[in-house]
Amino acid sequence: MSTDRSRRGERAGRLVRLRRDRTLLLMTVPAVALLLVFNYVPLFGIVTAFQYYDPLIGVRYSDWAGLEQFRRLLDDPVFWQALKNTLYLSFVQLILFFPVPIALALLLNTVVSERIRNLFQSVVYLPHFFSWVLTITVFQQMLGGAGMLNQFLRDHSIGTWDIMTDPDTFALLVTSQAVWKEAGWGIIVFLAALSAINSEMYEAAAADGAGRWRRMWHITLPGLRGVIVLMLVLRLGNALSVGFEQFLIQRAAVGHDAADVLDTFAFYYGIATNDYSYGAAAGLFKSVISLLLIWGANKLAHAFGEDGLYRR
Amino acid sequence: MTNASTIERSRAARRPVSPGLRHGGRGGRPVWEEPPTAVGQAAKGLTLGGVLAVVLVPLWIVALTSVSSPGAVNRAGGLVIWPDGLSLQAYREMLGDPTVRTALLVSLGITAVGTALSMVVSVLCAYGLSRPRSFGHRWVLLLLIVTMFVGGGMIPTFLVVTGLGGYNQYWALILPSAVSVFNVLVLRSFYSSTSGELIDAARMDGAGDWRILWSVVLPTSRAVTAVIALFYGVGYWNSFFNVMLYLPTESAKWPLQYVLLTYVNRGVGLPGSVNSGFGSESAQTAPLSLQMAVVVLTLVPLLVVYPFVQKHFRTGVLTGAIKG
């Protein structure tokens, strides 16, 4: 009896709340609708990875392939090359890119003049907003076969080196492009973490006779630890998504042996050749490994006593 | 010694320390910090200057080449580093080219329509989710956040968009990426922090949610709105992969970035330039100054907007980076 009444009351309460908040709920409808159509419906499209998908008859009537597409992937040397490239390029970027924003933020944090800080920040944030097409065009003009560097080399008869088409140095090239475009933007997060460090700690350490390097080692770096670990976790979770557009644009110039990564593989061997199921299988493979990577990296962060993506 | 440092410490404690920045405001160097060494200063200056040069010098060269006369480009043997014979010839030629003109209009149109749509949808959704304890907001939030971690991937998305008839349609460049969940969450965290008393007061005066959003919440969060609009706008202006997916053959519908990619990066001649027919194998590479003018053209809108929005980055991005 009493439970019945309270249950009815709860239901009524819900209706009342729905009536009260219907405008708020209505406001979320357009966004939810777009996400349902373009993010949730494609989730069902994943089944194409287990089919011989034929665009003429659609998902519903296409034949089932079981794990055949995945078996094809694992037998495909081009796929293994793409996976190898992905991991290699990701690793090089991790080693050479990741520390740069941290170092720049540390350096900038020691600059006293507000004007210099502002000038520096507004300049180094800028390339983040350039498109990859623009960035690569600029690199092409500087380092390409007809570019600035080779013109200089020719003028001094040293011989030429077309960096933009050299598969051997491709990893260094794309990393330097990423550094040029994104390192400046990356310092924002670290500057925020630096500004959150209590200045009284520096003062106390200075009073105890710690010099600037000891203060950096014992106060600044421990203060940054949480953010560094978080950024590292995010980075590892994205290890299989090294700059897609960047490689797509340069693939023709350096050849697919060096420039194919998992994303470009899915594009060229899926969409461009109408072999949709094969591409979808490659995409699914990538998503699953990525999820495992981010999960593992997060576990690792927790093992080091940091929060990672979420608090335990 | 002890005495001096105690005095210093108390002096430092009395000085108002702006929260956040260690060297915040006009405070300058804290008294307890060692004066800089000459070598340290020089090394710091060189590093910062070097970084600035690496960013700015290529842009300078590109811009200067675009405003140089063909003679000056020849004398320099390619890219121009010092101002020589200046001329706006390349810009006149470029803007006289129907392909570039159409592409510019297409890019501006997609950016304007896309940004407007994204902002309306995101602002509404963010406000709808920002009122504490409102009905169902946790479920909607969950629905949003899930999309940040799992997705169908490139090919299932492509199949859905083309299945809806998006092939060769401009909406295929806008709708699939119209909502950025990350941006919605940033907006939401700002709207949530709008003072509840302000909103209650407006409600007492008879304002509904639409009125509150328009007259209370939006005016108090102009900075973050500007930053998020810039993010969306830059996304639409720069996008080229969607063009490759959905409009690969319709050259008359290409936006500027795709024209830049085709005619500059791949060294194909601009269709309107001398002696080159569109799509023909014998197309000549456009003159360097013309190519650089196209590069500059893709930069202009950004450089116009950037100074106005840039000062808000600190407020806009940090919340997103740390809470998101």
The domains found in chain B, sorted by start residue, are: 38-76 (no CATH), 89-323 (1.10.3720.10)
A242: left (phi over 0), alpha (psi -120 to 50) or beta: beta
- Find out whether B298 and B257 touch, Cβ atoms under 8 Å: yes
Candidate from B33, B160, B181 with C-beta closest to A45: B160
Residues of chain A with pLDDT under 50: 1-6
Residue count of chain A: 312
The answer on pLDDT for B12 being more than 60 is no
* CA angle (A81, A85, A88) in 5-degree steps: 135
Whole-number pLDDT of residue B15: 44
Cβ–Cβ of A189/B121 closer than 8 Å?
no
Min Cα distance A199 → chain B (Å) is: 6
| A12 vs B contacts (CB less than 8 Å) | none
Min Cα distance B95 → chain A (Å) is: 19
Cβ–Cβ of A45/B156 closer than 8 Å?
yes
Cβ–Cβ of B240/A133 closer than 8 Å?
yes
Bridge partners (DSSP) of residue A51 are: A64
More confident residue, A13 or B55: B55
ipTM of the prediction = 0.88
Q: Which of B60, B131, B155, B291 to mutate to test the interface with A (most CBs of A within 10 A)?
A: B155
Cβ–Cβ of A195/B124 closer than 8 Å?
no
CA distances from B137 to A29, B118, B149, B180, B280 (A): 12, 20, 19, 18, 56
Min Cα distance A123 → chain B (Å) is: 7
Contacts of B252 (CB under 8 A, 6+ apart): B102
Q: Long-range CB contacts (< 8 A, 24+ apart) of B261-267?
A: B261/A133, B261/A249, B263/B99, B263/B291, B263/B294, B264/A137, B264/B291, B264/B294, B264/B295, B265/A133, B265/A136, B265/A137, B265/A140, B265/A249, B266/A252
Cβ–Cβ of B178/A34 closer than 8 Å?
yes
DSSP letters for A179-193: HHHHHHHHHHHHHHH
Cα–Cα distance for residue pair A83/A262, rounded to 1 Å: 6
Min Cα distance B1 → chain A (Å) is: 10
| B124 vs A contacts (CB less than 8 Å) | 27-28, 30-31
Q: Hey, is A104 helix, strand or coil?
A: helix
Phi, psi of A276, rounded to the nearest 5 degrees: -60, -40
- Find out whether B273 and A96 touch, Cβ atoms under 8 Å: no
To the nearest 10 degrees (0 to 180), the angle between helices A68-75 and A276-303 is: 80
Cβ–Cβ of B155/A207 closer than 8 Å?
no
| A180 vs B contacts (CB less than 8 Å) | 54-55
More confident residue, A207 or B24: A207
Structure tokens at B321: 């980076």
Cα–Cα distance for residue pair A70/A66, rounded to 1 Å: 9
| B177 vs A contacts (CB less than 8 Å) | 38
Q: Quickly state the pLDDT bin for B261 (edges 50, 70, 90).
A: confident
More confident residue, B64 or B153: B64
Q: Which of B135, B137, B217, B246 to mutate to test the interface with A (most CBs of A within 10 A)?
A: B135
Contacts of A47 (CB under 8 A, 6+ apart): A59
Structure confidence by residue, pLDDT tens digits, B183-215: 999 899 888 888 778 888 888 888 889 999 998
The answer on pLDDT for B51 being more than 70 is yes
Share of chain B above pLDDT 70, in %: 81
Average pLDDT of B56-80? 86
- Find out whether A298 and A233 touch, Cβ atoms under 8 Å: yes
- Find out whether B200 and B162 touch, Cβ atoms under 8 Å: no
Structure tokens at A115: 């004007």
Q: Hey, is A134 helix, strand or coil?
A: helix
Contacts of A154 (CB under 8 A, 6+ apart): A160
Q: Which of B154, B209, B309 to mutate to test the interface with A (most CBs of A within 10 A)?
A: B154
Strand segments, DSSP code E, in chain A are 51-52, 63-64
The answer on pLDDT for B16 being more than 90 is no
Whole-number pLDDT of residue A57: 84
- Find out whether A290 and A240 touch, Cβ atoms under 8 Å: yes
Structure tokens at A136: 């690569």
Structure confidence by residue, pLDDT tens digits, B83-140: 888 888 889 888 888 888 999 999 999 999 999 999 999 999 999 999 888 888 899 9
Which residue in chain A is spatially nearest to B54 when comparing CA positions? A180
Whole-number pLDDT of residue B315: 64
Whole-number pLDDT of residue A87: 93
Which residue in chain A is spatially nearest to B288 when comparing CA positions? A141
Which residue in chain A is spatially nearest to B291 when comparing CA positions? A137
The pTM of the full predicted model, rounded to 2 decimals, is 0.86
Hey, is the C-beta of B55 within 8 angstroms of any chain A C-beta? yes
Cα–Cα distance for residue pair A276/A48, rounded to 1 Å: 8
Whole-number pLDDT of residue B265: 64
| A40 vs B contacts (CB less than 8 Å) | 147
The answer on pLDDT for B8 being more than 70 is no
Cβ–Cβ of B318/A112 closer than 8 Å?
no
Candidate from A14, A131, A266 with C-beta closest to B240: A131
Cα–Cα distance for residue pair A232/A230, rounded to 1 Å: 5
Beta-carbon count within 10 A of A88 CB: 15
Q: How many CB pairs under 8 A join A and B?
A: 281
State the DSSP code for A2.
Answer: H
Whole-number pLDDT of residue B285: 55
Cβ–Cβ of A249/B209 closer than 8 Å?
no
Candidate from A30, A35, A107 with C-beta closest to B47: A107
Cα–Cα distance for residue pair B134/B127, rounded to 1 Å: 11
Candidate from B149, B161, B241 with C-beta closest to A245: B241
Structure confidence by residue, pLDDT tens digits, B235-250: 999 998 899 889 888 7
Cβ–Cβ of A31/B122 closer than 8 Å?
yes
Whole-number pLDDT of residue A297: 87
Cβ–Cβ of A203/B302 closer than 8 Å?
no
The answer on pLDDT for B141 being more than 50 is yes
Question: Judging by DSSP bridges, how do beta strands A63-64 and A51-52 pair with one another?
Answer: antiparallel
- Find out whether B22 and A195 touch, Cβ atoms under 8 Å: yes
More confident residue, B172 or B70: B172
